[in-house]
Structure 1
Amino acid sequence: MSRAASRPPWELSGDAKRERVRSLFAAITPTYDLMNSVMSLRLHHRWRRAAVGLLHLEPGARVLDLCCGTGDFAFPLRQVVGAAGVVVGLDFAEPMLKRARAKGAPMTPALGDACAIPFADASFDAVTVGWGLRNVPDLDASLAEARRVLKPGGRLVSVDMALPKAAIPRAFAMLVHRAFIPALGALVGRRQEYTYLPRSTQEFDSPEALAERMERHGFRNPVIRRLFMGNIAIVRVER
């Protein structure tokens, strides 16, 4: 066994993290939508709609959904941009894209890496990413790429898990992360994978730190909204 193979994915970076995370998400694809609904009490659709609302999109807009998974962001995006708009879903896990196609996600699927986006400069009005930035192998590269493909004035919005600021809600969230979510994963035979998902949240930037990182990459006017007692954070910035 290689040294990288013996380390947990949150300790990896670069190609080692890319391949581990790709394998992880390929493995959980069959139960991904069900688990998202259970863990979020079916609220993740509402959170995505809230994020889309912060983009102020017009009909006909072009949107790129990074780390699109099974395409859930495509539904509220399509409602806003309409039939004349373009919604592209990019993911590096092909099983996720196949699942998105199977459930009729209204987007154009694209197999690719968020750290090397296969589209031209200034080609999108907005970029979305849901529960994805903490999984990319190089966060700074992915933010630089997101800015590159955005048109001037375009917006990037991220929705993800977060840890509440207040002590008691934070302690409860940590208990859920360490015990409940892995136990839930065990019910579908994926304890190891659902140990990574909450742990990756603990190891990731806080919403405030993420907004500051985005500003270092040339984004501006950050907006942070915390939902679900601080356990979900929406971060929106402008190019």
Structure 2
Amino acid sequence: MTLLRGDALSAAFDHGSTAYDRLVAASPGYHAHLRRSARRLGLADGGRGLRVLDVGCGTGASTAALLTAAPHARITGVDASAGMLDRARAKSWPKTVDFLHAPVEELADRFAPASFDAVFAGYLFRNLTDPDAALGVVRELLAPGGRLGVHEYTLGGSPVHRLVWNAVCRAVVLPAGRLTNDARLYRHLRRSVVDFDTAPAFAERLGRAGFWRVRVLPLPGWQTGITHTFVARGAGGRGGRA
């Protein structure tokens, strides 16, 4: 199948938003892994005084993970899908959390350079038409030496990882999509992972985009070798602390 991109993908997520939270809640480790990746940003003092951008926030699962890791930060969740954002906004949030409907490509027009101390992206970059351009936007939005955390399906490179991912899709992901009448979206999910960077390749992509001190960290459970956390630092601030 042809991968969904742009408005077509946003529309598919709009339709899938009604069942999305129920489906991911049934995935072992989904929320715990997001929280682990959010903690790996290493935001000191619970994020007090920091501004954090949650790009591709969806229904707010990654936003909740960030709030757990940095309860005192100012968090802005952004997503291109109005339907997913409606689900996020309907949940209970402190006044330090707000949401914006916009694709990542437009964020440079919405925020000044260096507006955020940290950026988190969960399950985003493999869905973008031009991930390099999006990384450029993120780099500009980060304050010098700011922290980037990416939580993404990126296969580890072993044929076993691809086999496990395809087996999980055939047994669980694709049937769930058919059950909720979102078959096209979940076919896209399977294909987007297979066609995207391996974990080492995405780490190299981050380096080419101008990020430094890039680290690739595994996640436990069946997602080992399939989902990874990437942490890096933005341009500038190389003399600062990690």
In the alignment, what sits opposite 1:30?
Answer: 18
- Partners of 1:168 and 1:55 lie apart in 2 by 29
Question: CA 1:172–1:79 in structure 2 vs 1: closer, same or farther (change >3 Å)?
Answer: closer
Partner of 2:177: 185
Residue correspondence of structure 1 range 50-199 to structure 2 within 5 A: 50-58=36-44, 59-83=48-72, 85-106=73-94, 107-117=97-107, 118-199=110-191
Stretches of structure 2 lacking an aligned partner (at least 5 in a row): 235-242
TM norm structure 1: 0.87
Letter in 2 for 1:205: D
The CA distance in 2 between the partners of 1:114 and 1:211, in whole Å, is 20
8 Å contact from structure 2 (residues 216, 231) kept in 1: yes
Distance (whole Å) between structure 1 residues aligned to residue 156 and residue 25 of structure 2: 21
Q: CA deviation at 1:54?
A: 1.6
Question: Is the counterpart of residue 208 in structure 1 residue 200 in structure 2?
Answer: yes
Backbone CA RMSD of aligned residues: 1.7
Q: Distance in 1 between matches of 2:24 and 2:93?
A: 16
Higher RCO (C-alpha 8 Å, min separation 6): 2
**1:234 partner letter:** T
CA distance in 2, matches of 1:167, 1:210: 17
* Post-superposition offset of 1:34: 1.0
C-alpha distance in 2, partners of 1:213/1:162? 12
The farther-off stretch of 195-204 and 156-165 is: 156-165
> Using the alignment, how far apart are the partners of 1:182 and 1:105 within structure 2?
32
Change (3 A) 1:164 1:8: same
> What's the % identity of the aligned pairs?
32
Distance 2:233 2:161 in 1: 31
Unaligned runs of 5+ in 1: 1-6, 11-16
Write the distance in 2 (CA, Å) between the matches of 1:209 and 1:165.
9
1:127 Cα deviation from its structure 2 partner: 0.5
Aligned residues: 224
Structure 1 pair 177–164 and aligned structure 2 pair: CA distance change class (3 A): farther
Say which SS state the counterpart of residue 73 (structure 1) adopts.
helix
2:230 corresponds to 1:235: yes
Normalised to the residue count of structure 2, the TM-score between the two structures is 0.86
Q: Which amino acid aligns with 1:48?
A: L
Q: After alignment, is 69-78 or 160-169 more displaced?
A: 160-169
